Structure 1
């Protein structure tokens, strides 16, 4: 509604917002810029109390100009759940889970899909294409179905069966490749060059991040506009961290939160950790991660396009980046489900697995208010489930 223009964070070029556009002419991702003064004059924090509990409650800070173009499936305003048992074990007084599993299609990808598809509809897009690890594809397929936009999705044949089934059932055109997401991206790029479709891949259009930034809005609102001290985010492409950072910076500009920001902590798997390696080596961007493989399939991104923005957000918030192995991830997933009643996805479980190391290293202190971002439901990953069930006779006595 109050979006002014699109800025390139690399070459500083400015582009008009009301056009179908992919990236800057220099190849870098584009970021939407808003008229903060007009927004501050138009809406107060108190106005939110009477609004629907979806991400569209922040509509003045989102890019869709005409509400008739909004495609919504009641996404956003997910719960912030206290993890008291885990917190006590780790010596943390305030540990909470931002649980995205209630989202449409079961993951936080619904945020980017809702805003991205809504804006695509407003700009007259008829077909879009993207590579996917699975969850984003499912979300975009759902919102495209509702919007009447054709979705062409390419993913690894090794992606979780649940993701493949979901995308297929939601009516998208699904293609499988023998490779990882970068290979799927190459197939998408050739098709886009041939057919002229919109490339909706991460960082290839400017609107998905606008949905992701609502995580920052919600965290600020749920903490009473006094933001937490640290947020642990599963990190593949890095859009979650960039989105949270962008959202909080925009709240600062309209005067809704103070100057302090939470430390943003990226968590990756040791099987694919280009962001962690770049952070540790103090480099501004990542290098390709060879032979990427992890049970947390959604964070398998060997060389994310916008990694330089993720690393910038981590460093500007005095954040951190850490990698944990798959054994620790699966153990954390199982233990959190059994102890706290939260059956989270492996990507979210990576943040749980990282906590003990972060406490030992002093990255997180006992008085810090800490949020773990769970990006989706564990139900979408039946292949990672480790449980015991015994078959008994109908007249058996059990104890």
Structure 2
């Protein structure tokens, strides 16, 4: 039995196929490529019961990941993050069956570790020596640290306004850090030049096919942690949208394997900030692709992506699951971040807080029903964003009166 039952790469737009054992970036038509597996073989040789006995990391699903040889695996035992019931917050916002999938508990403190683990592992397997990528922070930090473990050189370009903590993670890893006075789209142009002029491997979002494979394991885990049942609604903070695309891909694969019973998949919700909501605008207009969002800004820096290369895949996942896209305000994000901490003791990131703000709004408008099981994805640790909130310090005056 081989470590992986990966088959080939395929284009979701033109159906062109590619070899999974040589370096591939985008399809000739410009679309991202998706990884396909020999699902009939997986079905013959792997069972849910076998999965349950394996290591507590995303590599428990190794047949459904693209790494051919176990020696190429680059891992900090990432995955199998907490899936927790939030009764007090659920009661507060009128969603009694409210849950959090907490990705702040993985190495590097964000869900980006999943994509980095699989993406760097496959880059190592393909013989890559230098990789380059634009980032809003967490992805660059994760890929830098995983690249260091793999012995690869990482070249990371991020906006100068990216969270300071992520810049320090990139720097301490020994990666080459470049700051640009602009947005991630501007960083992407610089990476494009590095790739063209120096021949670096382009690890930009969806310009290599393997980051999504790490992210999809969130979908596998949600199903497994719910005893192979699926929730009614999943809310996801959406910038590049790889996590949402990956979760949808995971559910389709589980359906084909017969590991989940539901014919009806969870309604997927793409959550964006009002200051950068290209997916929401496209959804509201019934379009299949988004337009570039001018002058984008949000404190939830990870979802400040004015134009996602995989926007058509995000929108398709939403449409196919009868989901929706919703934008929330900066005030709502801040309020939700405080509410989750105050009621449930969890210090989540602004992007994760956006999903709870969205859930509350959708419940108020009747889109989420009271009896539905709802899962919000928190994509990172709040402690990585110290500049995103203000400290509320109480006066010492009452204590001074007691002492006198």
Q: What range is the shorter-chain TM-score in?
A: over 0.9
**CA displacement at 1:43 relative to structure 2:** 0.6
Alpha-carbon distance in structure 2 between the residues aligned to 1:390 and 1:285: 48
Partner of 1:197: 200
Partner of 2:49: 46
Partner of 1:115: 118
Alpha-carbon distance in structure 2 between the residues aligned to 1:295 and 1:260: 35
Matched, 1:64 2:67: yes
2:320 aligns with one of 311, 316, 323:
316
**CA displacement at 1:91 relative to structure 2:** 2.4
**CA displacement at 1:369 relative to structure 2:** 0.5
Question: Is the partner of 1:237 in helix, strand or coil?
Answer: coil
Alpha-carbon distance in structure 2 between the residues aligned to 1:221 and 1:145: 31
Matched, 1:326 2:330: yes
Q: Does the 8 Å contact 2:298/2:304 carry over to 1?
A: yes
**CA displacement at 1:398 relative to structure 2:** 7.8
**CA displacement at 1:388 relative to structure 2:** 2.2
**Count of matched residue pairs:** 398
Question: Is the partner of 1:154 in helix, strand or coil?
Answer: strand
Question: Is the partner of 2:270 in helix, strand or coil?
Answer: strand
**CA displacement at 1:81 relative to structure 2:** 1.2
- Structure 1 unaligned runs (5+)? none
Q: Does the 8 Å contact 2:340/2:347 carry over to 1?
A: yes
Matched, 1:12 2:15: yes
Partner of 1:100: 103
Q: Does the 8 Å contact 1:231/1:262 carry over to 2?
A: yes
Alpha-carbon distance in structure 2 between the residues aligned to 1:311 and 1:219: 21
**CA displacement at 1:339 relative to structure 2:** 1.4
TM-score, normalised on structure 1? Answer: 0.98
Matched, 1:384 2:391: no
- Structure 2 unaligned runs (5+)? none
Partner of 2:347: 343
Q: Does the 8 Å contact 1:334/1:386 carry over to 2?
A: no
Query: Superposition RMSD on alpha carbons, in Å?
Result: 1.4
Matched, 1:31 2:48: no
**CA displacement at 1:93 relative to structure 2:** 2.4
Question: Is the partner of 2:14 in helix, strand or coil?
Answer: coil
Q: Does the 8 Å contact 1:132/1:184 carry over to 2?
A: yes
**CA displacement at 1:335 relative to structure 2:** 1.6
Alpha-carbon distance in structure 1 between the residues aligned to 2:107 and 2:393: 30
Q: Does the 8 Å contact 2:296/2:304 carry over to 1?
A: yes
Alpha-carbon distance in structure 2 between the residues aligned to 1:7 and 1:140: 24
Alpha-carbon distance in structure 1 between the residues aligned to 2:402 and 2:187: 50
TM-score, normalised on structure 2? Answer: 0.96
Partner of 1:238: 241
Partner of 2:375: 371
Matched, 1:248 2:251: yes
Question: Is the partner of 1:23 in helix, strand or coil?
Answer: coil
Alpha-carbon displacement from aligned partner over 1:265-302 (angstroms, at most 9, x marks no partner)? 01000000000000000001000000000000000000
Question: Is the partner of 2:105 in helix, strand or coil?
Answer: coil
Alpha-carbon distance in structure 2 between the residues aligned to 1:189 and 1:129: 9
Alpha-carbon displacement from aligned partner over 1:203-228 (angstroms, at most 9, x marks no partner)? 10000000000001000000111100
Alpha-carbon displacement from aligned partner over 1:304-362 (angstroms, at most 9, x marks no partner)? 00100000001101101000010110111012111110100000000111122101222
Alpha-carbon distance in structure 1 between the residues aligned to 2:187 and 2:401: 53
**CA displacement at 1:134 relative to structure 2:** 0.2
Partner of 2:82: 79
Q: Does the 8 Å contact 2:244/2:314 carry over to 1?
A: yes
Q: Does the 8 Å contact 2:233/2:373 carry over to 1?
A: yes
The range that moved more, 380-389 or 242-251, is: 380-389
Partner of 2:227: 224
The range that moved more, 168-177 or 353-362, is: 353-362
